[in-house]
Amino acid sequence: MKKPFVTLDQLKEITAQYPTPFHLYDEKGIRENARKLHQAFAWNPGFKEYFAVKATPNPTILKILQEEGCGTDCSSLTELMLSDRCGFAGKDIMFSSNDTPAEEFVLARKLGATINLDDFTHIDFLKDVAGIPEVISCRYNPGGHFAISNEIMDNPGDAKYGFTRQQMTEGFKKLKALGVKQFGIHAFLASNTISNEYYPTLAGILFQVAVELKEETGADIRFINLSGGVGIPYRPDQPANDILAIGEGVRRKYEEILVPAGMGNVAICTELGRFMLGPYGCLVTTATHEKHIYKEYIGVDACAANLMRPAMYGAYHHITVMGKEDQPCDHKYDVTGALCENNDKFAIDRMLPKIDRGDLLVIHDTGAHGYAMGYNYNGRLRSAEVLLQEDGSAKLIRRAETPDDYFATMIFD
């Protein structure tokens, strides 16, 4: 059973002030989860989580994570600017971009962010546009398939990211010759993993590569970045990852591979997005229409422009009809938004309690890659974002777009 982090009474109060639809975030849940992550990696003195800004680019959310000891992971100019405006200092910013425009390297260097290079050819590009820093990281792509105990998790050989193994060696040598003093290694090999083995398996691969690179190039490797990819259970029957077990699994690989190689000073870092925020946000929407044709439809006041994952990936997002949690799920609905796109459906053939117009629906697990993937198709406007604070009160942390925002970039001659 998935339970919303907000009650119907609280929602009634919040919606009296802020009309639906909006994304609601759970400050308490965010903080507790961040503390648990730090507990899981407390064995590693240099540990740092760089929150993947793209997952939830909201200043209030970033500042909460900052208070919990996190930095930011950016991959665009505006994400760098946002981190800067939120007061993240240079070394608290990781810049893990790809196909990178020159101006982004320039800003990353200006802010003192740690640059994580995506490609061998970016060495010369960076040298030419912004200069080579003393600390740098390179993103590794092992190619082929990535498997955990014979189960294929993802297909790095098909992914556009990173250096090949051979390029890692050549790249480290070249960067060293260009004056780099300290190195990091990064890889992101599988997304939304529901497995306590993902990070430990990835760590095993990266630690081994680190030992080899040190031998081959004499590079001083100071950090290993396990990036994102630790997932969340979107479906009610999926088990949640156990972050303490994950941290312990990484520690074992560290003791097994790095410590014997004299690399016991290496810091672990992460760039989690989904795991940090996903479950601690939901999309609150009101049922506005019911339609009876060949199927039963419930129309709501949110649409795919507010949450693209179901339309884009066929992703499951659990839905709670507020106040009807104990009623039987004996109605089969498609829950739809208003876009002129038939994939604008938050749920298809979903068994739910009977929904009446005016019912409040909570669409779960939208805290990461939810609002952030919003767009303006059909002239639909992005919603507000509201924070449910630890004391139970609600605070607007981003206003809803207005038609003026929509028209702001248009040129009427």
CB of 139 vs ligand PLP, minimal distance in Å: 8
Give me 248's structure tokens.
């312990």
Kind of pairing between the strands at 345-352 and 331-336: antiparallel
Spell out, one character per residue from 63 to 102, where the chain touches ligand PLP: x when CB under 6 A holds, - when not. Answer: ----------x-x--------------------x------
CA distance 193 to 190: 7
164-172, 188-196, 310-318, 379-387 -> range binding ligand PLP (CB under 6 A): 188-196
CB of 83 vs ligand PLP, minimal distance in Å: 14
209, 257, 322, 368: residue in contact with ligand PLP (rule CB under 6 A): 368
Q: What part of residues 190-209 is at the interface with ligand PLP (CB under 6 A)?
A: 191-192
Contact of 155 with 145, CB cutoff 8 Å: yes
Q: Is 70 a catalytic residue?
A: no
Give me 341's structure tokens.
């796109």
Q: What part of residues 259-278 is at the interface with ligand PLP (CB under 6 A)?
A: 271-275
Our CB check for ligand PLP shows the closer of 217 and 270 to be 270
Residues 6+ apart with CB under 8 A from 149: 197
CA distance 247 to 300: 41
Question: For residue 95, what are the β-bridge partners?
Answer: 74, 115
The count of residues interacting with ligand PLP (CB under 6 A) is 18
Q: What part of residues 222-241 is at the interface with ligand PLP (CB under 6 A)?
A: 227-229
Spell out, one character per residue from 309 to 348, where the chain touches ligand PLP: x when CB under 6 A holds, - when not. Answer: ----------------------------------------
Our CB check for ligand PLP shows the closer of 123 and 277 to be 277
CA distance 343 to 271: 31
DSSP state, residue 310: H
For the residues of 67-120, what is the DSSP string, one character each?
HTT-EEEE-SHHHHHHHHHTT--GGGEEEE-SS--HHHHHHHHHHTPEEEE--T
- Residues marked as catalytic: 340
Residues that bind ligand PLP in the complex, under the rule CB under 6 A? 52, 54-55, 73, 75, 96, 188, 191-192, 227-229, 271-275, 368
